Structure 1
């Protein structure tokens, strides 16, 4: 099972594929599992951070903000989309280390969660950007000293972070498409592309746990609601966490 190709659920330590070498003669290209040493650890870390962070976002939006605007609705759905991606990471961590052992049905479910979360994330980020653009006269806002700048700064940073996380993977996928079209045809390039796909995909998955961090350190209204809920929460852990969250200036 591979989210980049959605092909067979089984992988081996080394894959072999007929390939043309640089001289044009037929050859067999050996593909090693480059990511077996780092992908399971990275995916497991992203799963823990992303799960806790996005559940925290849901808690704040549902019980603190109470969906007062379109942006709040978009943030809620974006957190749900990130959770779908995050829930696929334990399976991807196992698959990066060993053969897929969960069957075809689970393979389709994991791939479905991955693609739904991916495309829903794009949709709600675009929708949130359009909503903020329509709600605020933007060019003038950026050239004023008004405190209303905070209402759009979070959206711009979320969009920029999304672009930075997913653009490398999209570029690597483009080169993979060129390889499938036989535009690029050498064993060395093919191995480089596969390694690039694994590394950039890990970078892309980091986006699922970065949004909650952005909301805390950039979104002032989100941070206020989070601090208010933590103050009311009976657990001592919440009160300890409150000391780690930056307070608003002024």
Structure 2
């Protein structure tokens, strides 16, 4: 189970365990709503939309866009990160709808997918923001496009190496354990409470607060520069990247807040437990839904929308391909070459 997840204690119609200070009497509280079923259903829906949207996005990038463009490189890696995170959702949905039935290896594999997708998304978004900051504010982007592309690729490789290394470390800690109340199995971190709390603090600090601080600083300077510029159209990339980064922190922010809160706060009474768990489950659904949100944000680009329509119109693409194969006029070939060249920079501003 991921960091911050509240253990699902089930016994017949009871699901929450509460301890009162008055004599340390233990009470079982009746669950008012089955959030496990609701979460499992949402995870299936998110999986379908994310798989479809990110697959279409990858097809558009590979068929119509120039992958030697820096922004395209970051978007490609973010789409891969979302797909990796998406691969975790079916396991998690079954776990909520029933219980863990896949064994110990699948438990570690699912956890690794979760953390690889989460860590890589944060690092890639931060790197993309820093790239915008250097280009727009400092005007220190390499004059040779190949150098800037090389820097972006190094950043992406570093993001994957760090994410995989950290995810493997987290996956080793999880195992399949039995419920305290029945024979149901759960995939969760078996570490002691002190280690779990330390992990929560480190996760929130290094993977949310620090990137959030960097992003706020960079975009404060970027927006100030854009507002002072005479030609704001050339900074259209900033708008798209800003929406992508903002959506990530809006989706994952409440979830990380609950991770931090759960480490030291223990609600007292059935009503408090019920409200706390309700807010927690909603924040987790919002966080997991982020993986299917990015393809929609990329549609802010008019060029990407046009490419997507071209991809979906299979008959038109087939006819154009047949015309190119028959080698019609040189003007047609020239127009196709010009269109391809003009779409090489999907979102970047014109060269200075």
What's the TM-score, normalizing by structure 2? 0.58
1:243 corresponds to: none
CA apart distance, 1:149? 2.7
Partner Cα separation in structure 1 for residue 246 and residue 30 of structure 2:
34
For the 8 Å contact 1:36–1:96, the answer to whether it is kept is: yes
Aligned counterparts of 1:154 and 1:102: Cα–Cα separation in 2: 40
Gaps of 5+ in 2: 138-221, 320-352
Q: Is this contact kept in 1: 2:9–2:16, CA < 8 A?
A: no
Decide whether the 8 Å contact of 2:4 with 2:262 is kept in 1.
Answer: no
Query: Deviation of residue 37 (structure 1)?
Result: 3.5
2:240–2:298: 8 Å Cα contact kept in structure 1? Answer: yes
User: Does residue 85 of structure 2 align to residue 3 of structure 1?
Assistant: no
Q: TM-score, normalised by structure 1?
A: 0.80
Deviations 1:199-224 (A, max 9, x none): 111001111001001111x1234334
Unaligned 5+ segments in structure 1 are: 236-250
Q: Which of 284, 292, 307 is equivalent to 1:225? A: 307
Q: Alignment RMSD, CA only?
A: 2.7
> Matches of 2:225 and 2:6 in 1, distance apart?
50
Task: From the superposition, tell whether residues 81 and 145 of structure 1 become closer, same or farther in structure 2 (CA, over 3 Å).
Answer: same
* In the alignment, structure 1 residue 146 sits paired with structure 2 residue 229: no
Matching residue of 1:211 = 294
TM superposition shift of 1:164: 0.8
Cα distance in 1 between the residues matched to 2:308 and 2:84: 23
Query: Is 2:277 aligned against 1:194?
Result: yes
Kindly tell me: are residues 159 and 84 of structure 1, through their superposed partners in 2, closer, same or farther at Cα, counting changes over 3 Å? same
Question: How far off its partner does 1:187 sit?
Answer: 5.0
Change beyond 3 A, Cα 1:112–1:78: same
Number of paired residues? 228
Deviation string 1:22-52 (CA, Å, 9 cap, x unpaired) is: 5363313447473134112211111110000
Q: Is 1:159 aligned to residue 245 of structure 2?
A: yes
Largest Rg, 1 or 2: 2
* 1:26 equivalenced with 2:25 (yes/no): yes
